[in-house]
Amino acid sequence: MNSQTLTGFALSRGKAERLAETRALGAALQNELKVFLVNGPEIAMANNGLGFVAAKDFESLAYLGFFEGDHFAVALSGDVESIAAKHGFEWHSLRTVGADLGDLEVGLATAAIALNNWHRTHTHCPRCGDETFVSNSGWTRQCPKDGTEHYPRTDPAIIVAITNPEDKILMARQTVWQPTHFSHVAGFVEPGETLEAAVAREAMEEIGIKIDSVTYMGSQPWPFPASLMLAFVATTSSSEITVDGDEIAEAYWYSRAELVAACKAGELRIPSKVSVARKLIEHWYGSELPDEWSRP
Ligand SMILES: [Zn+2]
């Protein structure tokens, strides 16, 4: 990693020890596990933190690790909505509360949501179609018919803050977003492609810009449902934008003063504190930007 790498991404924190050898231990300790509940991108919370329930109520759990004597797991089975209601827990999206949770809890919640999403959508063997079962304390699934083992997937995606020779930043609006919502160029890495090539391809495809240089800035898991966001900054000498009209509806260059003016006028809303995109904008800008300029 170079000295320019950004730190402090909201979902890149985490304190629990998650070495594979400890997962067997976690399973053995089932009755002492601190189990919490997730549902899609949401976490069941009590008093602004994770809400914990007894392990015995669940047929299937994923062991997430230990910290200062406590062992943590997420429920992979059961009617989590009813159980949360019984305990008086409130559901909150990790996208909304991720920046405010402590290091331990945000790390547990991020891993839990990613794992749970995978289990919910990968219930059958890709080879023979038989129903698979949870194995290795929740970190794999196994096929009872052919014995194959299947691992949770993470999809790498690049996001890139592009600047022109005047040090203006490019902000683009996806066709599916509201008229005031703008962010950076982003997209999934394709098979057989390097990260640098993905950055160059997405910039050319989405906004018709040729990238001159690319610098890696850090990464953040983004389990909505299964991404790892790889952050870059890039420069270009070409300022003419040609949006594809398919994924991107419009894109503009902003100086720092123009960005502030557009945000103050309510014409521009920037991505939330929990996102990589926000970190990249603030890195370019030189300081944090007001919360009220975030997307709702
Ligand atoms: Zn199979």
Encode the chain (296 residues) as per-residue pLDDT tens digits.
Answer: 455 688 889 999 998 887 766 776 666 677 789 999 999 999 999 988 999 999 988 999 999 998 988 899 999 999 999 999 999 999 999 999 999 999 999 999 999 999 999 999 999 999 999 999 999 999 999 999 999 999 999 999 999 999 999 999 999 999 999 999 999 999 999 999 999 999 999 999 999 999 999 999 999 999 999 999 999 999 999 889 999 999 999 999 999 999 999 999 999 999 999 999 999 999 999 999 999 999 98
Ligand 1 center–CA 124 separation, angstroms: 8
Ligand 1 center–CA 127 separation, angstroms: 5
Ligand 1 center–CA 95 separation, angstroms: 35
Rounded Cα distance between 96 and 42, Å, is 9
Ligand 1 center–CA 189 separation, angstroms: 28
- pTM, two decimals, is 0.92
Ligand 1 center–CA 184 separation, angstroms: 41
Would you state the pLDDT for residue 17? Answer: 85
Would you state the pLDDT for residue 32? Answer: 83
Would you state the pLDDT for residue 20? Answer: 65
Ligand 1 center–CA 94 separation, angstroms: 33
Widest CA span of the chain, in angstroms?
Answer: 63
Ligand 1 center–CA 150 separation, angstroms: 10
Ligand 1 center–CA 200 separation, angstroms: 39
Ligand 1 center–CA 209 separation, angstroms: 45
Buried b (16+ CB within 10 A) or exposed e, 105-133: bbbbbbbbbbbbbbbeebeebeeeeeebe
- Count of C-beta atoms within a 10 Å radius of residue 266: 10
Ligand 1 center–CA 147 separation, angstroms: 7
DSSP letter, residue 138? G
Would you state the pLDDT for residue 1? Answer: 44
Tokens representing 54 are 């007894």
The angle, 0 to 180 degrees and rounded to 10, between the axes of the packed helices 256-264 and 276-285 is 120
Would you state the pLDDT for residue 26? Answer: 67
